[in-house]
Amino acid sequence: MNLYLNPTICQECGGKCCKRHPGAAFPDDITRNYGKDMLAALVSAFQDGYTIDCWEGELGDGYPKNSEYGIDDDYDEYYEAEDGYHTGYYVRPRCSKDDDSRLYNYTYGGRCLFLTATGCKLAPELRPTGCRMLEPKEGGETCKVHGGGKLDSAKAWWDYYEVIVQAAKLVERGLSLNED
């Protein structure tokens, strides 16, 4: 994967993209950063500041129609507001405005939790795919996106739905999984 790094442009811009919304993470981002066991990796990621978001539309060919796939009753109110759609969950860093007590954050917009005054606190290779696929542009122009958006992430996470829910329940109960 190509890394579109240009710290000079990012520093001049002040992280406009990162202040607008965090980049989407993909399953391999989580296992690369937190270990190969997806359940344990997600628990650790959620404890480190990642959250669960969702795609708000059909995923496309090869995926069930939203109305054919249910979700946990605890979160149905959101989907009822969206005409009963179940869309794909994906994982992303929390926004600074997100309620830290909720793992399911369907909010849009807000400063990425990992953005500091000097840039991203994550090393480039540890950043979510959605962040690594942004190409900085000079003159304050919006970054060019080369992939790794919400829809792509939701598709990548589709087969991990049950693991995401299980990890969230563990974190909500204050439990952790250590690979010690």
Nearest residue to 142 via CA among 9, 2, 24: 9
Q: Would you call 112 helix, strand, or coil by DSSP?
A: strand
Amino acid found at 99: D
Q: pTM, whole model, 2 decimals?
A: 0.83
The answer to whether 31 and 38 have CB atoms below 8 angstroms apart is yes
pLDDT in the model for residue 100? 60
Residues 6+ apart with CB under 8 A from 1: 129, 132, 133
Expressed in angstroms, the distance from the first to the final Cα of the chain is 31
Burial of 119 from C-beta contacts in 10 A (0-12 / 13-18 / 19+): middle
Rounded to an integer, what distance in angstroms lies between the CA atom of residue 25 and that of residue 50? 9
pLDDT in the model for residue 98? 57
pLDDT in the model for residue 173? 87
The answer to whether 105 and 98 have CB atoms below 8 angstroms apart is yes
Nearest residue to 174 via CA among 73, 71, 101: 101
Interval 59-74: pLDDT, tens: 788 876 655 555 443 4
pLDDT in the model for residue 85? 42
Interval 1-38: pLDDT, tens: 677 777 777 777 778 888 888 999 999 999 999 999 99
Confidence of residue 155 (pLDDT cuts 50, 70, 90): very high
The answer to whether 158 and 86 have CB atoms below 8 angstroms apart is no
pLDDT in the model for residue 135? 85
